[in-house]
Amino acid sequence: MKGGIAAMVAALVALHETEALEAGAVSLAVVVDEEMESIGAEHLMRSGIVADGAIIGEPTDNRLTLGHKGLEWIEIELIGKAAHGSMPQAGINANVAAARFVQQVQDRLIPRLQSRSHPLLGAPTINFGTIRGGDQPSTVAAT
């Protein structure tokens, strides 16, 4: 996002140098950690900042975009029962449960979300970005 930040800083400098802003105030908020936990955006929201609008410097193929779908991080832990890989019947495989869960979301929930389409933003989306499970290849995954 260095390009977006540079463009916003240049716009603020131009506003200041040309005295083009006749009323109001402009603030620049450059937040960190957008791709992982959004701690910068969370801090900004908790700070109590109030604005009439916002410009987000996210690349959009040079198209103006009015809106944002938002984001929710959800962590799901499925608990199984460990067993040796030679006796999987003695365990409960959390990886298999995770695969079944993902398939249920794909088959049942995502089609329902398509009916909730927003005129500008489209339908809500779900992404399974990371799945972790098991300790080693020779055991049934307990988590």
> Distances in Å between the alpha carbon of 103 and those of 76, 77, 79?
14, 16, 17
Give tens-digit pLDDT for 24-41. 888 888 888 877 778 888
Helix, strand, or coil (residue 88): helix
56: confidence class by pLDDT, cuts 50, 70, 90: confident
pLDDT at 60: 74
Residue 67 burial class via C-beta count within 10 angstroms: exposed 0-12, middle 13-18, buried 19 and up? exposed
Report residue 46 as tokens.
């908790």
Residue 22 a catalytic site member: no
Q: Out of 19, 34, 42, 75, which one is annotated catalytic? A: 34
Give tens-digit pLDDT for 69-125. 877 888 999 999 999 999 999 999 999 999 999 999 999 999 999 999 999 889 999
Cα 57-31-38 angle, rounded to 5 deg: 105
- Pair 69, 127: CB distance under 8 Å: no
State which amino acid sits at residue 24. G
- Cα separation of 140 and 143, whole Å? 9
- Pair 84, 90: CB distance under 8 Å: yes
Query: Is residue 65 over pLDDT 80?
Result: no
Bigger pLDDT: 66 vs 130: 130
Report residue 91 as tokens.
């365990």
Residue 103 burial class via C-beta count within 10 angstroms: exposed 0-12, middle 13-18, buried 19 and up? exposed
